[in-house]
Structure 1
Amino acid sequence: MFANFISHGQSVQWASKIIAFSSEYTDQLLGKEYRAIHALGRPSKYPKFGNTPSAWQSLTPDSPSGEYLIVSFDTVKQIKQVVVFENFGAGSLTRIEAFDENNKLYLLRELPPSYAQANGQITRIKLNALTPFKVKSIKITLNSERVKGFSQIDAIAISDDDKPIEASIALEKDPNASLVKENLGLAINSKFNEICPVVSPDGKSLYFTRWKHPENLGSAKNQDIWVSQLGDDKKWMKASLFPAPINNEENNAVCGISPNGKTMLLNNVYGKDGQMEKGVSLSFKLRTGDWSFPKPIRIQNFKNKSEYSEYTLAPNGKILLMTTETKDSYGGKDIYVSFLKSDDTWTEPKNIGPNVNSGESESTPFIAPDGVTMYFSSSGHVGYGNNDIFLTRRLDDTWLNWSIPENVGPVVNTNQWDGYFSVSAQGDYAYFSSVENSMGAEDIYRIKIPEKVKPQTLVQFAGKVVDATSKNPMNAKIVVRSTISSDTMAVEYDPYLGDFSFMWPTKKPFVVEVKSKGYLAKREQFDFRKESKYMELNRIISLMPLEINKQFKLPTLNFAQSKADIQKESFEALDGIVLILQDNPVYHILIEGHTDLQGDWNENLQLSVDRAIKVKEYLISKGIESSRIQTKGWGGTKPVSSSVLEDKRRLNRRVEFTLFFNE
């Protein structure tokens, strides 16, 4: 389903750095359109050609002194082929030359005035053999007077192979016949515009926007939000108009829903008088089931030359991706990222970079529930139509490094405008807007997501936190940490209901830490790397109340007969003790070991001491200072069960704890 960027054993390199250029087109009203940087990387318009801001264009159309561009590549190597994507005004090239490692210049080919066969073409230089030197960079020289008007260079590549370089970026011609896009029908679509579908992470609610529908609010029937629920038959029920205050007489749209379904990201800033301003807001689900009046997101130094912006919120609720146009944009609207600060404002947006952003406009970004995969619409990458939907994946935690965008394929993308691609956490269906074969204007469609287009497989972890004694819901702090990376997530938590929900990639083992003041913390580790499908997990987490100078024990901390070794299943409970001591450095702890009544009295006394010492050693191994830990052994003198039955007698083989302040 992708544009095929695989080189099939062919060593293709695309220009990665601008060394020098004669001039580049600039305009104070534009961003970085037409700059030399747009000659880097893969082509933006192929297999189409034509005038585009995603290509290098000289300052003037017909310079008598000529123009040139020098680019370098990531790897210095011998080559057998050079290609230049002349996107517009082809025919101006006069020379193609190569620099070796010592910056000596070699002529590879001179081009006659008649070499161009079309206004846009791929100009290929094939050599009879590998160059005897390693190529460091390529220089192309243009006589811009050969072709009247502007000439554009979209991309430059080299290869040590004879195979055509353009074959490595060929678009798929024959879509998989089993992958059919499904119009959602009259329950969702009408003769009016249906756009901006957002499916809730649990896949059970579909929010979308209708334009000029007769049932919309206000006399102008502006853009309003509608919602449909998934029925038991897995079909969408008849959509209904979303209630106030989310809908008003102005333009309304949902941009995203949090993983627990309790936070809604909304386009525009809501005024108390019903007026709207450009921007973005958050609404929160109340205990009554209603939604709160939208609260504006305040983004520092936010600027936008475009009339429109789109927004998407990362699953952790702390990273906001948006489209906006500034003087620093690569062209039109670009995708930027902003981070939530401790004062509840958001950082100044940063451009996420040229891998994603092109000289054309990027729009409708959607960050999948995995927090890694982003879908967006653009006409600045290799595609089928005016605007195609692409996929890119986040490569690190900066949110500024992304993979090369990949076209999601011809079943979704048409020769017209395509956008608003949304997926649920299950990763089964994708939802998007299209005008192809619609009932009137734009309609909403869904498609079974092809494997390569899917976000990461997720586990939905939901549950409650309760007091172990009263069984009542309680307040708690929940943190999820990856055991193989630096990923950390503070879980959004409702202290009134005591429930929580979060989503996590199955390929990353994780630890869930649950803490509450005055309670023994819990830490539990999970590993779902063998799971290949979305799964749901429900847990009730009970926290044990703690009191200073009051003895307590851990139900899962027991020992084998005549043994002092800590059993593996006891580690998680002991980690709860570690968390308490880490969070409360003024606490000290007394560890008291016990045995059952079997065996020699003196041996049992020593065994009880050994058990206490083993627990102490475990705490020390986790970073707790030895000076904060005291131990004592009681042998079998304090049994909790005198039964002769083993399942009862084993309860005596235990360790008990007392927290205290050291005076």
Structure 2
Amino acid sequence: MKLKIRFLLGILFSLLVFSSHAQRVRWASKVISVSSEYSDPLLGLEYRALHILGKPSKYPTFNNSPSAWQSLTPDNPAGEYIIVGFDSVSVIRQVAIFENFGAGSIVRVDGLDENNKLILLKEFSPGYATRSAQVTSFNLPNLTVPLRAIKISMNSERVKGYSQIDAVGISDSDVPIVESLRLNKDANAYSFKENLGKEINSPYNEICPVISPDGKKLYFTRWKHPSNMGKNKNQDIWVSNWQSDTKTWSKAELFPEPINNDENNAVCGISPNGKTMLLNNVYRNDGQMEKGVSMSFLLRTGDWSFPKALRILNFKNKSEFSEYSLAPNGKILVMTTEMKDSYGGKDIYVSFWKNDDTWTEPKNIGQVVNTGESESTPFIAPDGVTMYFSSSGHVGYGNNDIFLTRRLDDTWLNWSEPENLGPIVNTAQWDGYFSVAAQGDYAYFSSVENSLGAEDIYRIKIPEKAKPLTLIQVAGQIINQDTQEALAGKILVKSVSGTDSLLVDYDPYLGDYSFMWPAKKAFTMQVVKDGYICRVEKMDYTYERSYKVIQKNLFIIPIQLNKQYQIPNINFDQSKAELSSSSYEELDKIVTILKDNTSFKLLLEGHTDNQGDWNENMKLSLERVENVKAYIVSKGISPNRIRVKGWGGTKPLASNMSEERRKLNRRVEFTLQGD
């Protein structure tokens, strides 16, 4: 017993020691006041005070950066200051100031208490900075007053030229704040990368890999390859096919015209069904290209259509370059562009498809993702939630690193804090173009490290933290139940809870319909086609933990006059006549049929199971159809066009021996009739 008590006390002591060293770092979350900030009419929001907020952008590699606060003039004899606030009022023990460039100008640091009273925290004498860029930190072991803000006062004449501050962090712990930013190191990280070899890579540049959602095709861009089109051998698109028998990629082939031409060509994305291709630039009929983005569609012949430009409202790009990615539903476009409200260089923006086949004015997705540096190569994973992108504006390993962020709501403007994908992917060089298939097993990206020449394409087994959400792929056909013929139509996919939806176009000449959906969300499927009755199919694969393909044909029934149909998904609780709101969608379809065909009349017939009194059941069946009639009339249909009849339990569809079978007998049927 004594040994057990001693062991438990040891665990408790360890926990207490750990708690005493645990730290919660808080970063400045708002600028309360600033003496000045740099601005340039030719720039966006580079060097503004807002860039002091949040985590540092350049640590541990310091350099002059537009993603830091810089005063308006380099040497102001009157001095400069900035006051930053935090997300809560608290007692602090440590302050860290990330002097990104021109370190050595700080004169003093004060705290502001809840009454805005200044409390001196630290004074700095000339020459305190040992390097031109450093983390200037100090501890406050005796401070007990809760603080809401920090004021940094600077003598900009102490250091010749501009001084920059990238971030301000505070903590209630003695553990150095920089420890919270420490990156993983692995000298052998490159060994986890798989160079795709000579079938795909060459001594020339291979960049911009895009894996099709089904993982069977890899599109990429080659620059200056001798087999490229045109005399200048600009960027062209190449494609390789996955060979499932040998588990290898086929020798890459040059993609044909009109997708490739004499100018610069690149694939930005492929739709889940593989029939829509998103392409960089706008294709002109004279063979020239303009800034923008286009779509090409797979034709019945197997060829690809001439790319059609996307019309984006008020789209203006100050940068020479731009990249694009299309969400799986085909209606949300993510892009990098430089506009007036860019935080610095290219930022990531979002645009939404409109019913008139135009796209909304791009919206900046915000400062959680975008920085004063340029963001590039965004890729929306097939789950529609996870986004990978490249940036040098977040803590990284050198040049641009690849990061992951996840969408937090349906506005596409709220994102999780970006996560660095780590040393298996990122290097001291430029890293970007991260693409994943729906299976979520491998990722494809470009890198120069240990390449065959210039940039090569690699793949890695995706680290667990970087995987997109588990997806279900559903494929099949729309079938006429009477003739067994495949029919063209649209399939409405909706989440059981929430607002997520997807409209899938289907053409039997192009094969099966196909779409992908997050496994964690139960959903319904229903064909939308005039002149047909379509059941709602409920699908629930929330138990799935890995990618799965489901084959599902959807059967629809042609509407005929004087033929009896059961209203799909209209069932009743035992002894109840009330309609539930879940019935409205089905009844609205009948309303639409009656509005589109004003000569049609409607016969509604109600049924019950055989439980209970015979007379009561007759009454109940009539009440049910009267409630259905009342709803249809409330939608603008004349009551004179609707007849009702109640049959009680006299016409069962199924046995009444079990509750599951009796449910089928509690129903309403309808017949469309002519004059």
Query: TM-score surpassing 0.5?
Result: yes
Residue 178 of structure 2 corresponds to 166
Is 1:381 the counterpart of 2:394? The answer is yes
Is 1:245 the counterpart of 2:254? The answer is no
The 1:589–1:613 alpha-carbon spacing in structure 2 relative to 1, beyond 3 Å, is: farther
Question: In the alignment, is the contact (CA less than 8 A) between 1:433 and 1:442 conserved in 2?
Answer: yes
Q: Secondary structure at the match of 1:578?
A: helix
Residue 44 of structure 2 corresponds to 31
Residue 13 of structure 2 corresponds to none
Residue 4 of structure 1 corresponds to none
The 1:468–1:30 alpha-carbon spacing in structure 2 relative to 1, beyond 3 Å, is: same
Within-5 A mapping of 1:252-651: 252-494=265-507, 496=509, 499-553=512-566, 577-581=586-590, 583-584=592-593, 586=595, 590-593=603-606, 604=614, 606-607=616-617, 610=620, 613=623, 631-634=644-647
Residue 217 of structure 1 corresponds to 229
Within-5 A mapping of 1:47-58: 47-58=60-71
The 1:655–1:530 alpha-carbon spacing in structure 2 relative to 1, beyond 3 Å, is: closer
Partner deviation per Cα, 1:25-58 (whole Å, 9 max, x = no partner): 1222222111111101000001111211111111
Question: In the alignment, is the contact (CA less than 8 A) between 1:281 and 1:296 conserved in 2?
Answer: yes
Residue 96 of structure 1 corresponds to 109
Identical pairs, percent: 62
AA paired with 2:587?
V
Q: Report how far residue 174 of structure 1 moved.
A: 3.1
Q: Report how far residue 301 of structure 1 moved.
A: 1.9
Given the alignment, which residue of 143, 146, 153 partners 2:155? 143
Higher deviation after alignment, 176-185 or 36-45: 176-185
Question: In the alignment, is the contact (CA less than 8 A) between 1:175 and 1:411 conserved in 2?
Answer: no
Partner deviation per Cα, 1:194-214 (whole Å, 9 max, x = no partner): 110000000000000111111
For 1:39 and 1:453, locate their aligned partners in 2 and report how far apart those are by CA, in whole Å. 28
For 1:8 and 1:620, locate their aligned partners in 2 and report how far apart those are by CA, in whole Å. 69
Residue 229 of structure 1 corresponds to 241
Question: In the alignment, is the contact (CA less than 8 A) between 2:312 and 2:360 conserved in 1?
Answer: yes
For 1:8 and 1:575, locate their aligned partners in 2 and report how far apart those are by CA, in whole Å. 59
AA paired with 1:85?
F
Is 1:194 the counterpart of 2:203? The answer is no
Question: In the alignment, is the contact (CA less than 8 A) between 1:96 and 1:110 conserved in 2?
Answer: yes
Partner deviation per Cα, 1:120-177 (whole Å, 9 max, x = no partner): 1111121113432x21111000111111121110000112222221111111113896
Q: Report how far residue 244 of structure 1 moved.
A: 1.0
Partner deviation per Cα, 1:598-657 (whole Å, 9 max, x = no partner): 99xx9556546545656776998999889978653446766889x9999xx999957562
Partner deviation per Cα, 1:547-585 (whole Å, 9 max, x = no partner): 34432247999999xx7689xxxx999787435236457
Q: How many residues are treated as equivalent by the alignment? A: 645
AA paired with 1:165?
I
The 1:374–1:305 alpha-carbon spacing in structure 2 relative to 1, beyond 3 Å, is: same
Question: In the alignment, is the contact (CA less than 8 A) between 1:476 and 1:495 conserved in 2?
Answer: no
Q: Secondary structure at the match of 2:243?
A: coil
Q: Which runs of 5+ in 1 are unaligned?
A: 1-6
Q: Secondary structure at the match of 2:180?
A: helix
Question: In the alignment, is the contact (CA less than 8 A) between 2:74 and 2:160 conserved in 1?
Answer: yes
The 1:430–1:179 alpha-carbon spacing in structure 2 relative to 1, beyond 3 Å, is: farther
For 1:164 and 1:126, locate their aligned partners in 2 and report how far apart those are by CA, in whole Å. 9
Is 1:106 the counterpart of 2:119? The answer is yes
For 2:160 and 2:428, locate their aligned partners in 1 and report how far apart those are by CA, in whole Å. 30
For 1:8 and 1:200, locate their aligned partners in 2 and report how far apart those are by CA, in whole Å. 47
Higher deviation after alignment, 628-637 or 268-277: 628-637
Q: Report how far residue 493 of structure 1 moved.
A: 2.7
AA paired with 1:504?
W
For 1:609 and 1:660, locate their aligned partners in 2 and report how far apart those are by CA, in whole Å. 24
Question: In the alignment, is the contact (CA less than 8 A) between 2:624 and 2:668 conserved in 1?
Answer: no
Residue 3 of structure 1 corresponds to none
Question: In the alignment, is the contact (CA less than 8 A) between 1:62 and 1:145 conserved in 2?
Answer: yes
Residue 167 of structure 2 corresponds to 155
AA paired with 1:241?
L
Residue 6 of structure 2 corresponds to none
Question: In the alignment, is the contact (CA less than 8 A) between 1:195 and 1:420 conserved in 2?
Answer: yes
Question: In the alignment, is the contact (CA less than 8 A) between 1:422 and 1:432 conserved in 2?
Answer: yes
Question: In the alignment, is the contact (CA less than 8 A) between 1:578 and 1:624 conserved in 2?
Answer: no
Q: Report how far residue 491 of structure 1 moved.
A: 1.8
The 1:303–1:63 alpha-carbon spacing in structure 2 relative to 1, beyond 3 Å, is: same
Higher deviation after alignment, 437-446 or 160-169: 160-169
For 2:314 and 2:605, locate their aligned partners in 1 and report how far apart those are by CA, in whole Å. 59
Q: Report how far residue 287 of structure 1 moved.
A: 1.2
TM-score by length of 2: 0.88
Question: In the alignment, is the contact (CA less than 8 A) between 1:520 and 1:577 conserved in 2?
Answer: no
Question: In the alignment, is the contact (CA less than 8 A) between 2:262 and 2:287 conserved in 1?
Answer: yes
Partner deviation per Cα, 1:212-244 (whole Å, 9 max, x = no partner): 111111222211111000001321111111111
The 1:370–1:9 alpha-carbon spacing in structure 2 relative to 1, beyond 3 Å, is: farther
Higher deviation after alignment, 551-560 or 413-422: 551-560
Q: Which runs of 5+ in 2 are unaligned?
A: 1-19
Question: In the alignment, is the contact (CA less than 8 A) between 1:99 and 1:135 conserved in 2?
Answer: yes
TM-score by length of 1: 0.89
The 1:64–1:593 alpha-carbon spacing in structure 2 relative to 1, beyond 3 Å, is: closer
Q: Secondary structure at the match of 1:581?
A: helix
Higher deviation after alignment, 542-551 or 116-125: 542-551
Higher deviation after alignment, 514-523 or 357-366: 514-523
Question: In the alignment, is the contact (CA less than 8 A) between 2:212 and 2:272 conserved in 1?
Answer: yes
The 1:620–1:309 alpha-carbon spacing in structure 2 relative to 1, beyond 3 Å, is: same
For 1:535 and 1:623, locate their aligned partners in 2 and report how far apart those are by CA, in whole Å. 44
Given the alignment, which residue of 92, 103, 120 partners 1:79? 92
Q: Report how far residue 109 of structure 1 moved.
A: 1.0
For 2:649 and 2:344, locate their aligned partners in 1 and report how far apart those are by CA, in whole Å. 78
Is 1:65 the counterpart of 2:78? The answer is yes
Q: Report how far residue 526 of structure 1 moved.
A: 2.1
Q: Secondary structure at the match of 2:333?
A: strand
For 1:248 and 1:285, locate their aligned partners in 2 and report how far apart those are by CA, in whole Å. 18
The 1:170–1:146 alpha-carbon spacing in structure 2 relative to 1, beyond 3 Å, is: same
Residue 16 of structure 2 corresponds to none
Is 1:204 the counterpart of 2:216? The answer is yes
For 1:451 and 1:116, locate their aligned partners in 2 and report how far apart those are by CA, in whole Å. 41
Q: Secondary structure at the match of 2:477?
A: strand
The 1:176–1:581 alpha-carbon spacing in structure 2 relative to 1, beyond 3 Å, is: farther
Within-5 A mapping of 1:13-28: 13-28=26-41
Partner deviation per Cα, 1:53-72 (whole Å, 9 max, x = no partner): 11111112211111101111
For 1:468 and 1:572, locate their aligned partners in 2 and report how far apart those are by CA, in whole Å. 28
Residue 11 of structure 2 corresponds to none
AA paired with 2:140?
L
